Amino acid sequence: MTSRDILEIVSYNLSAEGYRVITARNGVEGVKKAKKEKRELIVLDVMMP
């Protein structure tokens, strides 16, 4: 199972529970989105590039 697979599974499940999910492909993109978007929770993959 790849990181992308895990991203899709987690994103799908959280969306199904009614959460608005924002994803990022790497840490730099993730930090930019985290600063820009209103958020209550950040889930990260420590192996993310």
Domain boundaries, the chain: 1-49
The confidence score (pLDDT) of residue 12 equals 96
The confidence score (pLDDT) of residue 6 equals 85
Cα-based torsion angle of the residue sequence 10, 16, 20, 25 in order, rounded to the nearest 10 degrees: 30
Q: For 1-49, how does the pLDDT look when each residue is reduced to its tens digit (9 = 90+)? A: 887 888 899 999 999 999 999 998 888 999 999 999 988 888 877 776 6
33 Cβ partners below 8 Å, 6+ apart? 22, 24
The confidence score (pLDDT) of residue 49 equals 64
